[in-house]
Amino acid sequence: MKFRKIDDTKFQCILYQEDMRNFNISMEDFLRNDATKIHELLDIVIEKAYEQIGVDMDGTVMSLQLVPQPNQSLLLTVSGKKEDGVLQSIGSEYSGNLGIRGADRFKTAEEMAKHAFSVPVFFRFESLEDFEKLSVSIPKVTGVFNALYKGEDGDYYLLIERKNLAENKYVTLITNILEYSEIFTSQELEIAYIKEHGEVIFKTNAINSARKYCG
């Protein structure tokens, strides 16, 4: 572990692969939001942060942010705020920058598209057939980066990232995609995990490439 103090109630910690093995936690535990393991790790991190850099998180409401690093380590940012001596449960509070998880936060495709207008988003398809149906049902896609992965769970994941597509056309595209899939995530940690562990079906231009095979 390596610590860096930001202020009296905020610090960062690099968690290396060896640390994760020693503390019996894995990337999959974070993705599954294993509250027990995350809390156990957080207790250790907070204790060591106090010992090594003098940050005392006692009596604070805390949030945890995780960002994967190129060398398979994790950057943990722990922030605290004094609030009547009550410690908030971390639960699923970890996220990447501007992360979203699941479709339940958005009532319409337009609301979702505007929220994630400038961040990558993964959509989950239950089968390759569903993705193929999408690819032949919409016009040629331009102004958007898109790639397709097969996950370890057997589902298919379409990564969408707007480049220069007009907002109204982007909303239309999202609406069409949601007819055949569901929003999975825009959290950096989960996106990085799928990219690393998923099978690449189309590295780029996935929708248009599938049209050629299925059209």
Q: Would you write out the chain's pLDDT as a tens digit for each of its 215 residues? A: 999 998 888 899 999 889 999 999 887 777 667 778 888 898 899 999 999 999 988 877 777 777 766 667 788 888 887 554 333 333 333 333 334 444 444 555 566 666 556 678 899 898 999 999 999 999 999 999 999 999 888 999 999 999 999 888 888 888 889 889 888 887 777 888 889 889 999 999 999 999 888 75
- pTM, entire model: 0.56
The domain ranges of the chain are 2-82, 103-214
Residue 143: alpha-carbon gap to chain centroid: 23
Scored b (16 or more CB within 10 A) or e, 93-120 reads ebbbeebbbebeebeebbebbeebeebb
Query: Topology of domain 103-214, per CATH?
Result: Alpha-Beta Plaits (3.30.70)
Nearest Cα to Cα of residue 27 among 147, 192, 150, 199: 192
Contact 182/151 with Cβ under 8 angstroms? no
